[in-house]
Amino acid sequence: MSSTFFALSRLPREARDTLFLLGVVGWIIVPLIPHVPPWASAFAAALLLWRAGLAGRGRPLPGRWVLGGLLALAVAGTGLTFKTLAGRDAGVTLIVLLLALKTLELRARRDAMVVFFLGFFTLLSNFLFSQSLPTAAAMLLALLGLLTALVQAHMPVGRPPLMLAMRTALRLMLLGAPVMAALFLLFPRIAPLWGLPKDTLGRSGLAGDMQVGRIAALALDDGIALRVRFDLPNGKTPPQSALYFRGPVLASFDGRTWRPLDDMAQGGPWRRISSPAALQVSGAPLRYEVTLEPHQQNWLLLIDAAPAPPGLPEGFQAAMSPELLWRTNRPVMSVLRYRAESYPQFRHGPLQRNATLNAYTELPAGFNPRTLALAAQLRTQTPVAPGADPAPALVQAALARLRTGGYRYTLEPGVFGTHSADEFWFDRKQGFCEHIASAFVVLLRAMGLPARIVTGYQGGEVNPVDGYWTVRHSDAHAWTEVWLAGQGWVRVDPTAAVAPGRVGSFARLQAPAGAFATAVNTVISPGMVQQLRAVWEAMNNGWNQWVLNYTQGRQLDVLRALGFDAPAWPDLIRLLGALLAAAALGGAAWTLWERRQHDPWLRLLARTRRRLARAGLPLPAHLPPRAMARAVQAHFGPAAAPLAQWLQQLEQLRYAAPAPGAAQQPTQTLRTLARTWRRLPWPRPQPRHERRQRHERRDNGG
């Protein structure tokens, strides 16, 4: 950054300030490139580069007709692309183009002010698309750049360095930080006034159906699906093998794709889910808090089985389907935090065979003939005690074939054809979890057993930095449920029969590392990479917990911690007003105390002396302003005439008698001189080697 400032300092003042402002504008626009049309990004980039070229070469700006034509193109292009000029996407595209166009009209301070405020507005528009920690850090840097340019625009005299303006902007940001923190903590979050638009903010995860091979592709994604914090009084964490986060339940198969039986799980009205789940729980519950990343679906991910509705924020409602899937009244489009209670020991579904279970034995005609033959063979060869239910023995026979038949767990099983179950059982003998689960359910149904597929996530890992369990998209899993008489639906994970480490010791398949990852692992030890990753994810989790999910409930928790018995949002307003009033009174008291303790005239003179010393002219403390003015003129020559005149005015303010009928009081005159001091054409500091030579000449009497 220092080399950049050095290069800018060699340009004329106007060109330097313009190029710096263009760089800040470009920094603000870059994160919006994925969210605006490609032509708009190219158009804005061309305008900024054109303006930079004009500034660097000192060329005149384009005329009004050119600007009018460009504006018409921008508006017409936006309208044709979005068929409207309203809405988030069209509005952001238009504001980006207007900001780039306005830089071509940057002639006076008024134009600069318009660019600044358009820049602030565009900066805020980044949060309409992403509220992540990297976005916040990038926009904080952009805010510093805009404030630096704004401070620089208010220093029109001379050629003040950019670093001086940046230090002033940084000081302003630090002074405003306590007020910002107080407003963030205590400003009431009252829906629907609070919050950002949340459409299309999510990322894809599990889908409402399953094609063989889809979860294998999802397992290559190492992104985070959810985070979990357990409430464990004894400090004992649950085993990884018990962490089955339940997602969509799939029972309808057409030979290629598994889908839910009812239309509600495919996007139908969530309130239509009214049939009972027949859930019975026992044992001690597992209490936990989930931070769910946006997945654009209207369901929640909870550990099997959660009988009570999860604690959702205001605006969300949930209902449990007969398959134990908790569905919400709207899709999860932003980070969502909720509390839940699950029972690892549970039983659900009918205990006796009825007509509703027939749908879980259906298979499409004309598919997987060899699997159907295998099912008939197992039914004939599996020994069953007289009068006993053959279903448990048949399930164990299918699992035994998986254990002993040479089947392999892999992320790259190849492309399956029409008869996917036949290919798995007889040809390839390898697959990922959904290949195994699909073939297993087809075999069980061919033997007459009700069976279905459950998709979701299994396992997780503890972040050693913050103690949260992290569940990634690579933990996506598919398992099966089989109906057994007297037991209901029973979880059977056929993948554990092929690869016990997938569930027991949490051995995940990983895609081969790319060239960049291999190079990083060569330079940095894998342990250090994992530690850095844990720290970064803990920071992101803290951002999600305390910033993005700082809801009104957490605000009221803060008030309870401060001693409020039954806090409400009016208490927030009163406390915030009291803090702001106390801050204002404290600032006023400090200002009065400082004025009484220190002479502002002497402080201004001392600042001038320090500034001259940095420029290469150290002066003794007893020297009066008039003598300082003579020394300045003798040392710096005619260029220092404005500074010498200012010093003489400072001495007259102190020692000369006030003129009759003076328009200003001495205090006002001192304030005027202080403001003028900032705009004086100060001599530039001498390089270090020149100062050293000057000191040597003075010491040698030369």
Catalytic sites, residue numbers: 433, 477, 493
Closest CA to 341 of 279, 287, 284: 287
DSSP string, 504-559: SS-----PPP-HHHHHHHHHS-HHHHHHHHHHHHHHHHHHIIIIIT--HHHHHHHH
Beta strands 302-303; 224-230: pairing state: unpaired
Residue 303 pairs in a beta bridge with 245
Residue 244 pairs in a beta bridge with 458
Neighbours of 542 (CB within 10 A): 14
DSSP string, 100-150: HHHGGG--SHHHHHHHHHHHHHHHHHGGGT---HHHHHHHHHHHHHHHHHH
The string over 86-111, giving b where at least 16 C-beta atoms fall within 10 Å of a residue's C-beta and e elsewhere, is eebbbbbbbbbbbbbbbbbebeeeee
CA–CA distance, 527 with 475 (Å, rounded to integer): 21
Non-local (6+) Cβ contacts of 456 within 8 A are 206, 244, 245, 246, 247, 248, 301, 476, 477
- Helix (H) or strand (E) holding 622, with range, is none
Residue 296, sorted as left (phi over 0), alpha (psi -120 to 50) or beta, turns out to be left
* CA end-to-end span of the chain: 39
* Residue 327 dihedral angles phi and psi, to the nearest 5°: -105, 150
Q: Compute CA 94 distance to the chain's CA centroid, rounded to the nearest angstrom.
A: 24
